[in-house]
Structure 1
Amino acid sequence: MKEMIIWPAYIDIKRTKNEGRKVPKEFAVANPKLKDIADKIKKMGLEHSIEIKKSYPMEPWEICGYIKVKLDKNTSKLQILKEISKNMK
């Protein structure tokens, strides 16, 4: 098992790749909320924990939180992010 951090910015359609978006625009969503992402991860059956009082490193002044997800070693970060954002549309 490996752990992966998911920030809402990773799937935010308003962000560019340089601003932290990790998925292609066709997979990105508008205004992703931590709770919504956590709900989708839970529906996917993945073990996770939520860290609420954390700020995204590219925006240290804004506290948005992140989710720590436990994954199989064979699962890629991009694969999971696409699946999460696909489920949010």
Structure 2
Amino acid sequence: MDEELRNIKKWIIIYPVYVNSKKTIAEGRRISAANACENPTCIEISDCCAHLKLPHAIELDKAYPRDFMQRGRVRVQLKREDGTLTNPAIATRKQLMLQIAELIPKHQGRIKKQEPASSSATAGTSKSGKGGKKKK
């Protein structure tokens, strides 16, 4: 097991920010906004890696350095120890990010969420305290 952990350290890291269309390039997005998906999670990225038959591991205790409130990342093995690709269709980190961003909107959790929700955001705002100009 100790050797397996050493090998995981060589795997590439994918943070959810890399494929988030809501983020800017300065905030950490690595692919074009047109190809990216909205607010991906580590679990969704992990499921995509499983679908692509790539060995992967979720690290929920880690945070993205530019935004430490973003918890979690996924380690993915693109190449085996002998240098051969684990999935011949995906050779680079960028190809992997594009594949993940393409698969996430089709994720079963996403399909369930897209059902029309009742909009209860019509509640009025109440203002408390004194308002207006002071009298002289």
Report the TM-score, using the length of structure 2 for normalisation: 0.60
Which residue is 2:11 aligned to? 3
C-alpha separation in 1, matches of 2:104 and 2:98: 10
Please tell me whether Structure 1 or Structure 2 has the larger radius of gyration of its CA atoms: 2
Unaligned runs of 5+ in 2: 1-6, 86-90, 106-136
The residue identity in structure 1 corresponding to 2:19 is I
Which residue is 1:19 aligned to? 27
Q: Which runs of 4+ in 1 moved over 3 A?
A: none
* Structure 1 position 17, deviation (Å): 0.8
Report the TM-score, using the length of structure 1 for normalisation: 0.90
Which residue is 1:47 aligned to? 55
Structure 1 pair 47/7, CA: closer, same or farther in 2 (3 Å)? same
The residue identity in structure 1 corresponding to 2:96 is I
Higher relative CO (CA 8 A, sep ≥ 6), structure 1 or 2?
Answer: 1
* Structure 1 position 63, deviation (Å): 4.4
C-alpha separation in 1, matches of 2:94 and 2:17: 13
* Structure 1 position 64, deviation (Å): 1.5
- 1:71 is matched with which residue: 71, 74, 78? 78
- The one-character-per-residue Cα deviations of 1:58-80 (angstroms, maximum 9, x if unpaired) are 012x1410000000366211110
Percent pairwise identity: 31
